[in-house]
Structure 1
Amino acid sequence: MSLAATVKGRLPPHGVSPRGGEGGHMTDQRAKAVLKEAVDAVVNSFAKHTQGYGRVNVVEALQEFWQMKAARGTELKNGPIVVYESVPSSSAPYVCFVTLPGGSCFASFQDCPTKAEARRSAAKIALMNSVFNEHPTRKITDKFSQQAVDDAKKSFEGPIEDEQDPSTSLGAFRFMLEANRGKSMLEFQELMTVFQLLHWNGSLKAMRERDCSRQEVLAHYSHRALDDDMRSQMALDWISREQEMANIIARELAVADEEIERARHAGRELRFPKEKKDILMLACSQIGPL
């Protein structure tokens, strides 16, 4: 039996906070306890399946996990290196972000008294999601795609568009799912982050105004990596907005910070709000203090 199958029954779904349920919302304390229990279950299972002894070094375990994936043929454009980023702070609690080889980002989900503990906390939540992502239920299949489109229809506001037409919102969603058949939910989320940023930045609206079809945009950006050039261009866009509307960057930064904190404490993937903050901070570095 695979490691993912072993711990599946003890994990919250990827991207879903353990804060609620049919009986109502959990208290913050209970939610954190549930999340910690799930994370510890994965760490202990990983140690067991890899013949670990005693307390596993979770930072090394996370790196080993991705090195094993690379050795088994998983294509990783930038190699299997896991990247950590500590948030500058002169006192506790300390926060650390961890970015996985594909681009997914997580952060320490506990209040950590030391920088080393913050790194371990980030590694734990990243390892949990990495392992859970290997389970077959986290792969995009035809059945999953149809269910996702059906769910989107239920929450869609406005007229129901032709889901088979890539020029419509629902059609574009279906197109994205079908184009990523066989990939995992983490891989799909990494791709969707690019389109989330383009939407947030106003780039998608600008493309529509230039008569670019959704299908053309999807085809182009589905193969475009989120790189420094894209971030720099978005930062320039926000500099222009700041010149037209004072303090808009400060307001967007406040929103991004709140989103990061909510996702961090819930153990959720948070690359989108973190990328927003990084782009806005890049804009700030060009125009000085707000």
Structure 2
Amino acid sequence: MRQFWDSPYDNMMSHLLSPSDFGTSLKDLNIVAMLRNFWEQKQVKGSDSQSEDSVKGSVSQSEGLLLYESAPSPGPPYICYVTLPGGSCFGNYKECETQAEARRDAARVALMNSLVNELPSRLITPLFITHSLQEAASASTVSVEDACDPSTSIGTYCLLLQSYTGRTMLEFQEGMTVFQLLHWNGTLKVLRERQCSRQSVIGYYSQRELDASMRSSMALDWLGRERQTPRLLRMELRVAQRELDVARRHGNELRFYKEKTEILSLALTDVLPNVISLAFIKLFYKARHWRLYSQA
């Protein structure tokens, strides 16, 4: 870890965080290129470490390493999002008069979070897990001894943390986004009612990527709710958009909020894969739950 900070990135961090001459120093930096260079170097280091079996996971190939998206807007202020290789998403928190400025500001927020994520304190270790469980137990008035029981909420949290031992908090957040969406969408409640064990749910969804199939399944659920409660989708979308805007202005990680808006927008426009019928998707979704139930 130390050799990382012995690189030019220590100077980069001081430029990004220094309160003196802040605006001028940023103008002299090509933030977009620096962010790309950071992740390219991280990819090379990850490949080298992987050959030694010392680091879990790897980042994507350099092609399409970062994804920039500009929110539709007839004029300023403009909004831009950048998605990192693992799926974490950040956006510009300043009001930007041009799309290029919004892109640079989003890259700066992403770069600062990427750099901070390399600090030793962001690594999930057994000591970190112990402290996190103690804090969680204190905040929720449950016993920390319950962490040994995977059927409890703190036991589930312990199981999730342990599965990310040796990885960073940003990677942990990327994995938790799936479970946040499953909780928000009501899927976890359905699985509990079907008596699926928490271990089987974690094991299954930890191996699944947040892809178009999962988004379509969640959009189907919201379509069903819309039929029961008209205009529910529009209300939920407005709430999700406000949450996304607030999180962006605070410089927070945005994927959970952004995925919510995209899933609700998908449900509103009723845009589901044309090559698969609605009935087939429903059968597929039920079969997936049944497979989890049978593994419980």
> What's the TM-score, normalizing by structure 2?
0.79
User: Which amino acid counterpart does residue 262 of structure 2 have in structure 1?
Assistant: D
CA RMSD of superposed structures (Å): 2.8
Identical-pair percentage? 46
State yes or no: 1:79 paired with 2:52. no
Equivalent residue letter for 1:156:
S
Asked if the contact 1:161/1:170 (under 8 Å) is kept, the reply is no
Q: How many angstroms apart in 2 are the aligned matches of 1:162 and 1:280?
A: 36
- Does residue 1:238 correspond to 2:239, yes or no? no
Residue ranges of structure 1 left out of the alignment (5+ in a row):
12-33, 48-53
**1:76: how far off?**
3.8
Q: Matched residues in 1 for 2:124 and 2:32: separation?
A: 29
Alpha-carbon spacing, 1:3–1:206, altered in 2? closer, same or farther (3 Å) = farther
Give the drift of 1:9.
Answer: 9.7
The alpha carbon displacement at 1:68 in A equals 0.6
In structure 2, what is the Cα distance between the partners aligned to 1:143 and 1:159? 18
- Taking structure 1 as reference, are residues 9 and 164 closer, same or farther at Cα in structure 2, changes over 3 Å only? farther
Counterpart of 1:104? 88
Unaligned 5+ segments in structure 2 are: 48-56, 272-296
Moved more, 54-63 or 133-142: 54-63
Q: Which has the higher contact order (CA 8 A, sep 6+)?
A: 1
Which 10-residue stretch deviates more, 261-270 or 189-198? 261-270
**Residue of structure 1 in register with 2:129 after alignment:** 145
Residue in 2 aligned with 1:173? Answer: 157
| Runs (4+) off by over 6 Å | 7-11, 158-161
- Report if the CA contact (8 A) 2:134-2:144 is conserved: no
Map 1:13-92 → 2, pairs under 5 A: 37=19, 55-73=28-46, 75-76=57-58, 78-80=60-62, 81-92=65-76
> For the residues of structure 1 that align with 2:18 and 2:112, how far apart are their CA atoms?
10
Equivalent pair of 1:35/1:267 in contact (CA under 8 Å): no
- 1:271 aligns with 255
> Which structure: greater helix fraction?
2
Aligned partners of 2:101 and 2:13: how far apart in 1? 27
How far 1:147 sits from its partner (Å)? 1.0
Larger radius of gyration: 2
Partners of 2:245 and 2:135 in 1: CA distance: 27
